[in-house]
Amino acid sequence: IISGPSGSGKTTLYKKLLASQDRLAKSISVTTRPQRPGEQHGRDYFFVSRKMFDYKKRAGHFLESMKVFDNYYGTPKSYVYKLTRMGQDVLLCIDVKGAEVVRRKFPGTVSIFIKTPSLKVLRKRLTDRGSEDQETVDLRIKTAKDELKEARNYNYVLVNDNLQRCFAQLRGIILHEITQ
């Protein structure tokens, strides 16, 4: 599991890690949030309506599901189980609440929390991203403060102050864990 506040770089690191490791399989989440420029349905997320998400949740399709910033996210159970049966290590990029659910269901799960050096750096990254208004950035900072308190529940905590260095650390952790 890789988690961290919005703007911490977790998704960028997640994508780099998947591209560098054949043994790792990507878990594609289902979400009700709007598709961002450059994202592709079925590659980045499965984008669905709220009605479809609710149906899937009631039908027990998700390993975990959470509401995050007025949008819903869920990890499809059947997809994850299929990949693990094929001998793949599944990499999840999910929020701290979802991570807690997965760790409870699968106690041996390795979890890595990505954070920025400071909230000031986080705010700058969110603002520079340009995909959210100031009110949303403020909400994400407020949420990040709560998420940072959960970092102690993770096996590893990495500070993303330099993308290449953080990636090297993350890759080292993954290589260590999958060879044990």
- What is the extent of the structural domain holding 102? 2-175
Report the CATH number that the domain containing residue 27 is assigned in CATH: 3.40.50.300
Q: Is residue 162 part of a domain?
A: yes
Instruction: Give the pLDDT score at 151.
Output: 98
Number of domains in the chain: 1
Query: In Å, what is the CA distance from 53 to each residue of 40, 56, 63, 98?
Result: 18, 5, 13, 16
Instruction: Give the pLDDT score at 9.
Output: 96
Instruction: Give the pLDDT score at 49.
Output: 98
Q: Is residue 64 part of a domain?
A: yes
Q: Is residue 88 part of a domain?
A: yes
Q: Is residue 137 part of a domain?
A: yes
* Averaged pLDDT, groups of 10, the chain, 180 residues long: 96 94 90 93 95 98 91 94 91 93 92 98 92 90 97 98 98 92
Report DSSP state, residue 75.
E
Residue 5 CB partners (closer than 8 Å, separation 6+): 115, 116, 122, 140, 143, 144, 147, 148
Q: What does the alpha-carbon distance between residue 6 and residue 11 come to, in Å, rounded to a whole number?
A: 9
Q: Is residue 180 part of a domain?
A: no
Beta sheet of 112-115, edge-to-edge order: 2-3, 112-115, 156-159
> In degrees, to the nearest 5, what angle opens at C-alpha 52 toward C-alphas 44 and 97?
60
> In degrees, to the nearest 5, what angle opens at C-alpha 169 toward C-alphas 80 and 29?
25
What are the DSSP E strand ranges found in 22-176? 24-26, 30-31, 46-47, 62-68, 71-76, 89-91, 112-115, 156-159
Q: Is residue 161 part of a domain?
A: yes
For residue 51, give both structure tokens.
């009605």
Q: Is residue 69 part of a domain?
A: yes
- Chain-centroid distance, C-alpha 110: 13
Query: In Å, what is the CA distance from 89 to each residue of 1, 48, 81, 102, 174?
Result: 11, 26, 10, 14, 10
Q: Is residue 120 part of a domain?
A: yes
Give tens-digit pLDDT for 69-102: 889 999 999 989 999 999 899 999 999 999 999 9
